[in-house]
Amino acid sequence: MYNITVVGTGYVGLVTGACLADFGNNVTCVDSDAAKIERMKALELPFFEPGLPEIVERNFNEGRLHFTSDLATAVRNSKVVFITVGTPPRADGSADTSAIYAVAKIVAQNLNGYKLVIQKSTAPVGTARDLYRHMSKYAKKGAKFDVASNPEFLREGSALETSMRPDRVVIGAESKEAESILRKIHEPLFLIETPMIVTSLETAELIKYASNCFLATKISFINEMANLCEALGADVQMVAKGLGMDRRIGPKFLHAGPGYGGSCFPKDTHALSAFAKKAKVKSGIVDAVIAANDHQMTRMVDKICNSIGAPRGKKVAVLGLSFKPNTDDLREAPALYIIEGLKKRGVKVVAFDPISMRKAEELPQLKNVEFGADAYDAARGAHAVAIITEWNEFRGMELSRLKRVMKKPVLCDLRNLYKRDQVEAAGFEYVGVGKGVPAGLTKKKPAKRASKKA
Ligand code: UDX
């Protein structure tokens, strides 16, 4: 067991710190935001993540998890330092790694014995090796340290599960000592036979980007198929099913929808494209994925607007704001982009989200948006309801109740949660994603609407 400092208490840092403490290590979580640290000492966490409050509270009360903003002292008391600070995108799409370098400098100035610095923030390939050079400039002569890379693959909303039972552990380490410490830290995962890859720094860093870009590619691919399905009268859910049965492809990440969002895919695809450009390597696939995702979100705005006729002055209830369920994270959420698009077309938006509304109210983009107390309240007087995030409570809505409060019964189901027949039987017009209607079958309602408008 080690004395470990984890720098940065965002999703990755706090989850990593809590899990390492739960494995029996003595962990100090550091953040430069002193007010945030004080709140965490009072067990108020900065974001919503199922199961995290319990594990933080247990380890804090049992004395294995500490919070401080004094980085230097924490470093001096630790053998291992995880860097998990943010790497936000710059205007050109590249990752801003300045926070990592600032932390590494302080670590270098406080080396009082061998320390292992583990770079866990997602940062461009080459960062870990460059950090070693950077730290050498500030470290006392003869000070011993290593820099390793240990990318995270946690999924928000199921962060504990993905950290405690990961598909694999990736370690970039180039000294015996660094490798052995990282193996020891991950020992509890060997009991559940988690596979581990030990490789060079650059390879470990690229595995992270390649994984996220590949997943984003899968999503953009199925979204493109969905658009084809709509034009050709096919059903994307069946296409995904048939496609996913091929074991080389696999069934996961083939859900068509409004486009991906969140703190990882948008940022990491742009970052890969930026460092590929710098390396003078063409990243045509990833570039196309980025463009396809932007296009998909725009398509969703058109889809909703088409379903309500002339959009100006009409009211749309948006259900779900966070980029996926079980999180209150609004970063790059498709809902924000879609709402902005609707507002530009003169649509009045009323939104509801089970968890992220308080955060949403603070966003400048949502200034003119009203919020409902629940789905039915948001839908009152609406010309369409648009489900953007697949929270469980939107899966089983009482359609008759929804219809009663709406002005026009139109359901834009951007996550394909409902069956067309069921929704149409309840008297709604149904709009899904990639749910084309074969030419032989009559497309009753949309045809009527179109002729009315004409
Ligand atoms: C992702 C990766 O899964 C994780 O391994 C990585 O380390 C960080 O990025 P996360 O951003 O938490 O995790 O969310 P994820 O569940 O992967 O979803 C990302 C986005 O893709 C969401 O907006 C989601 O709605 C969308 N998505 C996902 C789809 O539109 N269709 C799918 O089939 C799957």
Mutational pocket test of ligand 1: of 155, 268, 388, the residue with most ligand atoms within 8 Å of the beta carbon: 155
Q: Which domains does the chain have, with CATH numbers?
A: 3-199 (3.40.50.720), 201-454 (3.40.50.720)
Query: Residue 368 — very low, low, confident or very high, per pLDDT cuts 50/70/90?
Result: confident
Return the pLDDT at 447: 45
Q: Tens of pLDDT along 104-143? A: 999 999 999 999 999 999 999 999 999 999 999 999 999 9
264 is catalytic: yes
Residue whose C-alpha is closest to residue 5's, from 42, 31, 24, 37: 31
Measured CA to CA, the distance from residue 74 to residue 3 in angstroms comes to 9
Return the pLDDT at 74: 98
Query: Residue 444 — very low, low, confident or very high, per pLDDT cuts 50/70/90?
Result: low
Return the pLDDT at 439: 84
Q: Tens of pLDDT along 302-350? A: 999 999 999 999 999 999 999 999 999 999 999 999 999 999 999 999 9
Rounded to an integer, what is the distance from CA 7 to the centroid of its chain?
20
Query: Residue 66 — very low, low, confident or very high, per pLDDT cuts 50/70/90?
Result: very high
Sheet of 348-352: strand order equals: 370-371, 348-352, 315-319, 384-387, 410-413, 429-431
Alpha-carbon distances, residue 390 vs 7, 255, 339, 447 (angstroms): 33, 11, 16, 28
The residue-averaged pLDDT of 286-300 equals: 98
Separation of first and last alpha carbons in the chain: 73
Ligand 1 touching residue 12 (CB < 6 A): no
**3 state SS of 319:** strand
Ligand 1 touching residue 323 (CB < 6 A): yes
- Tally Cβ neighbours within 10 Å of residue 362: 8
Residue nearest to atom 5 of ligand 1 (CA): 153
* pTM, full prediction: 0.93
Residue whose C-alpha is closest to residue 272's, from 90, 93, 100: 93
The residue-averaged pLDDT of 33-37 equals: 97
95, β-bridge pairs: 89
- Tally Cβ neighbours within 10 Å of residue 3: 15
CA atoms within 13 A on the CB side of 79: 13
Measured CA to CA, the distance from residue 246 to residue 444 in angstroms comes to 35
Return the pLDDT at 440: 75
Phi, psi for 386 (deg, rounded to 5):
-120, 115
Return the pLDDT at 367: 87
Return the pLDDT at 442: 58
Ligand 1 touching residue 390 (CB < 6 A): no
**Model confidence at 89: pLDDT above 70:** yes
Ligand 1: centre distance to CA 289 (Å) = 14
**CB contact at 8 A, 429 and 401:** no
Residue nearest to atom 6 of ligand 1 (CA): 153
Q: Taking CA 56 as the corner, what is the angle to CA 54 and CA 59, rounded to the nearest 5 degrees?
A: 105
* DSSP calls for 140-153: PTT--EEEEE----
**CB contact at 8 A, 414 and 433:** yes
Mean pLDDT score of the chain: 95
| Catalytic residue, candidates 19, 29, 264, 305 | 264
Tokens of 202: 């650059």
Return the pLDDT at 191: 85
Please state the atom number of ligand 1 nearest to the C-alpha of residue 327. 12
Ligand 1 touching residue 270 (CB < 6 A): no
Ligand 1 touching residue 314 (CB < 6 A): no
Q: Tens of pLDDT along 224-247? A: 999 999 999 999 999 999 999 999
Ligand 1: centre distance to CA 210 (Å) = 14
The residue-averaged pLDDT of 49-55 equals: 96
Return the pLDDT at 210: 98
Q: Tens of pLDDT along 252-271? A: 999 999 999 999 999 999 99
* DSSP calls for 112-174: SS-EEEEE-S---TTHHHHHHHHHHHHSPTT--EEEEE------TTSHHHHHHS-S-EEEE--
